[in-house]
Copies of this chain bind each other. A is one copy, B any other.
Amino acid sequence: METLGVGLIGTGFMGKCHALAWNAVRAVFADLPRIRLAALADSEQGQAERKAQAFGFARATRDWRSLLDDPRIDVVSVTTPNHLHAEMAVAALEAGKHVWCEKPMATSLAEAQLMLRAAERSGKTAILGYNYIQNPAIRKIAGLLRTGAIGSVSHVRLEMDEDFMADPAAPFSLRSDAKSGYGALDDFGVHALSLLRVTLGQVKRVVAEMAMPYPTRRLAEGGERKVGTHDIATMLVEMRGGASGMVALNRAAWGRKGRIALQIFGAQGTITYDQERLNELQIFRAGALADEQGFATLLMGPAHPPYGDFVPAPGHQLGFNDLKVIECRELIARILGKESWTLGFEEGFAIEKTLDAAARSFAKSAWMAVE
């Protein structure tokens, strides 16, 4: 493949993020096909045109389906609101396009299953935008676990916290509406679960609780409305590999801005990570003398691929958008049939099943198996 034709649907936070990645990926990484930014779709034509120009796409349209008929497009980035993922991803796959779909996969397990089946039928590459797994620190953690650096894992803790729902005075918005999903569990908890997935594998059973810090919110137009989502979710989990664990998700956590904290305890050591310092991980290895043991803080550098493709000097720091560039590169590798570090629709579906079990557990106040 000499050239990879790209179509982008959506121009919001994630749309721009994909656009930046498509612009950068070939300059960062060697030996990639040429990237042709073929077309960009947005539901509003003016926005589509402005963004196509800013992002360097050749064509702008308000008809996303027109991308599917475009033979110069090989892969479609789907970055629209969550409830549109299923329809667009399925259509793109059926049109023979590869798909790079943002997370969460869908707004229901049934939709996610349709997407998985479409991917399987098509034989095309279909991955989800779980960009945090692309952090060299997370890859390093996965590698350490795989090679037994901390022995058999007995226990894991995973926390994800931000404060965009923390203000009780903020007005009712879509995120408080039950239509948007469960709340913390699916709206952003999936990112946390993606890290669990690539480090420790699949959840076997779960007991979950959800909480609502502010049961009502004021309406912009006056009056109040009952809140339908839960900004806090907590779970006890048992992993298929045997480890016990707990997951805590809070999108009303004042002061937390991008925290995804992982603590993994094994028979020979412990690994910890906090995404608010995304270029670091900590590891404690058993075996050192009692007077010289301690958690080591590893700063990412060229020894932690693919950091070195961005900066040849260690400790100089990657950022959020760099992780999307790595994801883009891994997507291309997968399209080319090469080794790839990505979460495809199958793994994404496994994450959705975990969420679904958690939601059922909460509804029934009982432990629930993840089928």
Q: Say yes or no for A173: interface residue by CB 8 A criterion.
A: no
Q: Is A299 an interface position by the 8 A CB rule?
A: yes
A301 partner residues in chain B, CB cutoff 8 A: 257, 290
Q: Mark A16-46, 1 if CB is under 8 A from B, else 0.
A: 1101100110111010000000000000000
Residues of B within 8 A of A150 (CB): 254
Contact of A255 among B167, B246, B295, B318 (CB under 8 A): B295
A232 adjacent to chain B (CB < 8 Å):
yes
Is A162 a contact partner of B315 (Cβ separation < 8 A)?
Answer: yes
Q: What's the nearest-Cβ distance from chain B to residue A26, in Å?
A: 6
A347 vs chain B, min Cβ distance (A) = 23
Asked if A66 CB lies within 8 Å of chain B CBs, one says no
User: How many copies of the polypeptide does the oligomer hold?
Assistant: 4
CA distance A357 to B167 in the complex (A): 34
B-binding residues in A (CB < 8 A)? 13, 16-17, 19-20, 23-24, 26-28, 30, 54-56, 140, 150-152, 154-155, 157, 159, 162, 164, 166-168, 207, 209-211, 213-214, 232, 234-236, 238, 243-246, 248, 250, 252-259, 265-270, 276-278, 282-286, 289-299, 301-304, 310-322, 365-367
Cross-chain contact A27 with B54 (CB below 8 angstroms): yes
How far is B318's CA from A320's CA once the two chains are assembled, in angstroms? 6
Whether the Cβ atoms of B315 and A321 lie closer than 8 Å is no
Question: With A213-B265, A257-B314, A276-B315 given, can you name 11 additional A-B contacts, CB distance below 8 Å?
Answer: A27-B54, A27-B56, A154-B211, A155-B232, A232-B244, A254-B265, A254-B285, A256-B315, A257-B315, A310-B321, A365-B367
**A97 CB → nearest B CB, Å:** 22
